[in-house]
Amino acid sequence: MKPALALAFVLVSASAQPLLATSCDDVKSDIAKKLDAKGVTSYTLDAVPKDQEVTDGKVVGTCEGGAKKIIYKRGAAPAASAPTKP
C-alpha cells in the first residue's frame, strides 16, 4: 500500500506544480543560468503577456501562473553587459 501512496503523492505534486505562480525574474534567472552554462552569449529574455503575438524570438517558458511568457531572442546583447562606446 505504501508504494501506491507514494505514487499518488508524486502525481498530485506534479499536477499542482503549474498552479503555483512563479515570478518572471526567477524563471528568467533559471533560463539564463542554463544558457550561460551552455556557453550561449548575446541574447535577451523578455517577459510579455501570454496573449501577445511573438514575431521575433522564441517562447522558452512561462511565469506568473501562465499569465506571461518568456521570449528568447538571439543576437541581442543583454542590457547589463552591453558594450559602451568611448
pLDDT of residue 81: 46
Read off the pLDDT band of 42 (50, 70, 90).
very high
Task: Name which residue leads in pLDDT, 42 or 80.
Answer: 42
pLDDT of residue 85: 45
Tell me the pTM. Answer: 0.63
Q: What is the DSSP string of 57-80?
A: SEEEEEEGGGTEEEEEEESPPPGG
34 lies in some domain:
yes
7 lies in some domain:
no
30 lies in some domain:
yes
With contact defined as beta carbons under 8 Å apart, do 65 and 26 qualify?
A: no
Is 70 exceeded by the pLDDT of residue 49? yes
Task: Name which residue leads in pLDDT, 72 or 78.
Answer: 72
Query: In total, how many domains does the chain have?
Result: 1
User: Which residue, chain included where needed, has cell 531572442?
Assistant: 73
pLDDT digit string, tens, across residues 2-39:
444 444 454 454 444 555 678 999 999 999 999 999 99
